[in-house]
Amino acid sequence: MESVSGELLFSYGTLQQPEVQLDTFGRIVEAEPDILPGFTVDYAEIIDERVVDVSGHAVHPIVRPTGNPLDKVVGKVLRVTEDELDAADEYEVSLYRRIAAPLASGRTAWVYVSV
């Protein structure tokens, strides 16, 4: 069920970039700082030319669960619609999968993690 404010999507990488948001969502998305505990950031080479062209980067951050609450990833929570969440799924390459995860703020958001 979609809430009035839509879906929450935690971004720690290129989905924070205005040009990526415009291409993916057709607008600049409202965002608030938050933290993803229990994960660490790694990097992955992206071979999808469209994603590289839109983001301007061939290497993107990717998070992996560590289970250690002292590990954390700083990012932003994007407020998106269900259709925009589907668009984000299409933007993210097969190295990522979307899961629901608790944030330091107490909210739960979707986040793209390593497969």
24 within some domain = yes
pLDDT at 13 over 50: yes
In the chain, the number of structural domains is 1
104 within some domain = no
CB 82 within 8 A of CB 6: yes
Q: Tokens 């107490």 sit at which residue?
A: 106
69 within some domain = yes
41 within some domain = yes
Rounded distance, CA 14 to CA 19, Å? 9
Q: Tokens 């205005």 sit at which residue?
A: 18
Domain of 41? Answer: 7-97
1 within some domain = no
User: What confidence tens digit (pLDDT) does each residue in 39-95 have?
Assistant: 999 988 888 898 889 999 888 889 999 999 899 999 999 999 999 999 999 988 788
25 within some domain = yes
CATH code at position 48: 3.10.490.10
- What's the whole-model pTM score? 0.87
35 within some domain = yes
CB 62 within 8 A of CB 114: yes
Q: What is the pLDDT of residue 16?
A: 95
15 within some domain = yes
